[in-house]
Amino acid sequence: MLRFGADGNHIIGGGSAGCVMANRLSADSDKAVCLIEAGPRDRNPFIHMPLGVGVIARTGWVNWNCETEVEPHLNNRRLYWPRGKTLGGSSSINAMVYIRGDRADYEGWGAAAGADWDWPRMRELFIALENNQAIHDEHHGNAGPLCVSNLGRVNPLTEDFVEAGVELHYPRNPDFNGVSQEGFGVYQVTQKDGQRFSTARAFLDPARSRKNLAIETNGLVERILFKDRRAIGVRVGGRDLLLRPGGEVILSAGAVNSPQILMLSGVGPASELRQHGIEIVLDAPEVGANLADHLDYTAVATTADREGFGVAPSFLPRAIRGAWSYFLHHEGELTSNASEGGAFLKSDAGRERPNLQFHFLPAILRDLGRKTAFGYGMTVHVCDLLPKSRGRIGLKIADPTAHPRIEGNYLSHPDDVGVLLNGAKLARKLLHAPALARHLREEVRPGPAVQTDEALIDDIRARAETIYHPVGTCRMGSDSASVVDPAARVRGIDGLRVVDASIMPSIVSGNTNAPTMAIAENVAQMMIRP
């Protein structure tokens, strides 16, 4: 058996939360920290080149490549779930969009888990974490470890997408993380000098030289080790890494793998654990439950011009110039995050706040980028920000190398169908607004044949996909049924915390990467405070 550290911590998962935890906890030189990541180092060049996101989506190099079970309300399709499997986790493979969410999201967290999770505290954390390269005002930070910037180059089609929103009488919004979320604008991104700025770059790189921080890659955690309902270490590749008294295990494997590891370790719904022959350490029925995610629908059109990105012989000279500019100066088209523009809108006038998010790509998207789409075009994504449908994560088999059972249960709540229907109608309207219509050759999805609400709902069920924001599977709360308490400690277990998107009491109104970092920062400060 191997021992690491005195009064130290083992962190399972080197993703968006784990990198933050490793940095903050290892800042105390008297504490030893071991970060264990199942994937490799973040050396793949397509990680760091922003437009490389299109390549990463197609491969299993640094990607868990999960998929759901058949989804009964989506024509029994299995949905693709990419998850980062490298240092930086999903912050190393995502589209880099920097969104905090709406104030009301955190007011809900505060009601569920107390003042440490309410908007004033979370706003304080967001500002402290941020090093915004472009905006200097009271809503943003300029001295934190996380670089946030404007895109170095915005495609003309993206600018026309924003203009199309204005033509439909929606406000222009220069800052989705400022006074108001509502309106159309260009996203800020987690980049620095034209390159991706993942949590590995922001938080691990400055800490690598610390003698009290060990980083173990390609280390698949098989289970957490317990003695008398206290976490005492982890099993990695057949080795037992034991804590010394006073240490903690911090589970930061994400909304998919954190509940899986808990269940493999004997913490979860007793009936499911018995089914798989797993010794029960703690009957915790909500482990894996409360899964929430943003379901996404696309309207796609080909364009008559060549403003966007295209797979075509005519794009080759641009690609060569873009590559030259990127490799010499980290400038040009390869610094695009693909999902350049966006909007936050209400699905109907009676809403108090936006419940739809749009992402605009100046390109044709097929099968989430996994299939090549030839020619030039544009894609308008729309997702339901506040879904009522809930799914769960379970076990297929008691094997840490196997993917867990993912049941998104999308559109199981009837209200979600109406919301996404209204969003789909808006997406189509945007394609045909004057600013974009002048580029439009043909609407190919849903296409001219789809005209009625019934036909559009059928198309949603046939084509909707996740936009990769699963949360909530180890729910945090002040109530005794929650998996973790407001300090992220697993109820009924000593020396074990869960710190990642899985503990969100409810899903946020936007991309989940920035909130996940803020969760980790908050818990780290709780652990550091006397």
- For 145, how many CA atoms within 13 A lie in the half-sphere containing its CB? 19
DSSP lists the bridge partners of residue 394 as: 405
* C-alpha separations of 13 from 10, 90, 164, 496 in Å: 10, 11, 42, 14
Residue 515 φ then ψ, to 5°:
-60, -35
Cα 254 from Cα 231, distance rounded (Å)? 19
* Closest to 383 in 3D by CA, of 339, 444, 413, 424: 424
Cα 517 from Cα 177, distance rounded (Å)? 15
> Is the CB of residue 363 less than 8 Å from the CB of residue 375?
no
Tokens of 271: 């009936």
Residue 368 φ then ψ, to 5°:
55, 30
How far from the centroid of its chain's Cα atoms is residue 287's Cα? 20
Cα 211 from Cα 193, distance rounded (Å)? 29
3-state SS string for 481-513: CCCECCCCEECCCECEEECCHHHCCCCCCCCCH
Secondary structure letter of residue 161 according to DSSP: H
Instruction: Give the pairing type, strands 248-251 and 9-12.
Output: parallel
**Residue 469 designated active-site:** yes
Q: What angle do CA 261, 107, 509 make, to 5 degrees?
A: 65
Tell me the three state secondary structure of residue 330: coil
Residue 392 φ then ψ, to 5°:
-160, 160
> Is the CB of residue 293 less than 8 Å from the CB of residue 391?
yes
Q: What one-character-per-residue DSSP string does 289-316 give?
A: --BB--EEEEEEEEESS--S-EESGGGH
Task: Give Dmax over CA atoms of the chain in angstroms.
Answer: 68
> Is the CB of residue 163 less than 8 Å from the CB of residue 435?
yes
Tokens of 358: 């749009």
Q: Which of 73, 359, 439, 469 is catalytic?
A: 469
Active-site amino acid positions: 469
